[in-house]
Chains A and B, each alone.
Chain A
């Protein structure tokens, strides 16, 4: 089986400081990988390098493109990479306002990616947008409201709809539940989990919340100081952590 994403020795430096270094892994179709670590561990830097938002200083990020097989997205021309960014890839930001156009209606937000890849039939765009709002549990009559009129959880669900509408194969998520109330979080996770399974999505989820990865991720990568200290099956890493840092991380979670 060809991996969907093949990451080889990615490194990113901020001057003398290490953003992330020596990161390698393969992600296979349908796999969901969690990246955990504390703030400053390099997990967001890594995610941004993988998604093409940052240019890594070393290494390769090969993506299994529909037409040409594995291609290094680091050395790929920018138009191609940006095209991937609005077709095969999706990026869910922690803050909905980074991932939404706040002055555009919910329908327009969802429709943008469709129009970006050439959809030119208003009725069809609107039907697809309505369908997707339903799938993320937003009432159809909110389609012409702007996200500024939405709650935090709704904004995040809208962001997900906007990203998934073009049927991407790989979703990058940066703390998708951060800053939400616990009850809202649960609903969002439930939704994400269903969509990931239903659409057979591969996903890379960066979070510091171990409960989130236990629920969503098949496998786990633990980062500290820019390095990967442990990887493995999610429940194995959480239930039988091998590295000192992972043990500390797992044992620090408060029990409820």
Chain B
């Protein structure tokens, strides 16, 4: 064990953050201000998510971090190591084995359970910020449920692009009350926001925490004649053949060759281990480069 207090933050701070989390869960979608601490990593690297994770982790937890679905990017690896070192918790890349999952910009493909917590890293928590720069005004708009402006943004999308072009950070209304930014997850993930697990959102620089309790109703905003559509690349994963997962597109050579693969690396490798093979894939174990 290290010389750090468990999970880096002192107990008073964790208590303060837990109070904010509980308030957030009690008022789904409401942005609770909290005294965000300096963390040993720069803003934009998930300081909000890290503080929320620190406040919910217990020594018995198993921790997983994904960055755009991947467990093996610098950001994911360094946060995972951070808690390995400061909390001594077990870590995993397997979604099913994790009890706390911190994520940047994705929801895992595998359906989450009631005994799991999903912690989102949030850059800009205020969904109305795009059109209303004043925080005083946006807080008032939330408190009075004045959300017409949110549809103005969608209107602008349709008038400029012929369809709602917002493809990530797509605004939702939680439990029929607060309009919430689901963090920059692709809108493909929006339907998954109604889930069994607890979802916590932390914005470190903006000092806000908000939450979606299990099974809370989460509706993506839209127009009657332009209904919300969860979209993804019209393709199957080239590695594991999955047709239901969100895909990353990779340019693989100078001739314009491309490859689509699951953005959720754990989902993809689990399928490949089970023997699924995509169009450009090879059975697992033979592609180790």
Interface residues of A (CB under 8 A from B): 78-79, 82, 86, 101, 103-105, 107-108, 111-117, 120-123, 125-126, 143-144
| A121 adjacent to B155 (CB under 8 Å) | no
Stretch at the interface among B74-82, B156-164, B199-207, B235-243: B156-164
The interface residues of chain B lying within 8 Å CB-to-CB of A115 are 148-149, 151-152, 155
The interface residues of chain A lying within 8 Å CB-to-CB of B156 are 104-105, 108
| A78 adjacent to B152 (CB under 8 Å) | no
| B152 adjacent to A112 (CB under 8 Å) | yes
Cα distance A79–B148 in the bound complex, in angstroms: 14
Give the residue of B144, B151, B155, B223 whose beta carbon is less than 8 angstroms from that of A79.
B144
Give the residue of B148, B155, B158 whose beta carbon is less than 8 angstroms from that of A113.
B148
| B148 adjacent to A112 (CB under 8 Å) | yes
Give the residue of A82, A101, A107, A123 whose beta carbon is less than 8 angstroms from that of B146.
A82
What 1/0 mask marks residues of chain B from 126 to 164 whose CB sits below 8 Å from any chain A CB?
000001000000000000111011011001101110000
Cα distance A59–B28 in the bound complex, in angstroms: 40
The interface residues of chain B lying within 8 Å CB-to-CB of A125 are 155
Most buried by A among B144, B159, B223, B225: B159
Known: A120-B223, A125-B155; 17 extra A-B contacts, CB below 8 A, are: A79-B145, A82-B144, A101-B152, A103-B131, A105-B159, A108-B155, A112-B152, A115-B152, A116-B149, A120-B151, A120-B224, A121-B225, A122-B158, A122-B223, A122-B226, A123-B225, A144-B160
**Which residue of B has the minimal Cβ distance to A124?**
B225
Most buried by B among A78, A104, A108, A123: A108
Min C-beta distance of B52 to chain A, whole Å? 32
What 1/0 mask marks residues of chain B from 114 to 136 whose CB sits below 8 Å from any chain A CB?
00000000000000000100000
Cα distance A126–B152 in the bound complex, in angstroms: 11
Chain B's interface size range is 10 to 19
The interface residues of chain B lying within 8 Å CB-to-CB of A79 are 144-145
**Which residue of B has the minimal Cβ distance to A118?**
B148
**Which residue of B has the minimal Cβ distance to A126?**
B159
**Which residue of A has the minimal Cβ distance to B154?**
A122
| A111 adjacent to B131 (CB under 8 Å) | no
What 1/0 mask marks residues of chain B from 209 to 239 whose CB sits below 8 Å from any chain A CB?
0000000000000111110000000000000
Cα distance A108–B144 in the bound complex, in angstroms: 21
Interface members, chain B 149-197 (any A CB < 8 Å)? 149, 151-152, 155-156, 158-160
The interface residues of chain B lying within 8 Å CB-to-CB of A78 are 144
The interface residues of chain B lying within 8 Å CB-to-CB of A107 are 155, 159
Min C-beta distance of B223 to chain A, whole Å? 4
Cα distance A37–B233 in the bound complex, in angstroms: 64
The interface residues of chain B lying within 8 Å CB-to-CB of A101 are 131, 152
| B155 adjacent to A122 (CB under 8 Å) | yes
Min C-beta distance of B136 to chain A, whole Å? 13
The interface residues of chain A lying within 8 Å CB-to-CB of B155 are 107-108, 111, 115, 122, 125
* 6 A/B residue pairs, CB under 8 Å, sorted by A: A101-B131, A103-B131, A104-B152, A116-B146, A120-B151, A122-B225
Cα distance A49–B43 in the bound complex, in angstroms: 43
The interface residues of chain A lying within 8 Å CB-to-CB of B146 are 82, 116
- The 9 tightest CB contacts between A and B, nearest first, are A116-B148, A115-B151, A115-B148, A122-B223, A121-B224, A79-B144, A108-B152, A112-B152, A123-B225
Give the residue of B145, B159, B224 whose beta carbon is less than 8 angstroms from that of A144.
B159
**Which residue of B has the minimal Cβ distance to A101?**
B131
**Which residue of A has the minimal Cβ distance to B141?**
A82
Cα distance A113–B148 in the bound complex, in angstroms: 7
**Which residue of B has the minimal Cβ distance to A143?**
B159
| B152 adjacent to A121 (CB under 8 Å) | no
Cα distance A125–B145 in the bound complex, in angstroms: 20
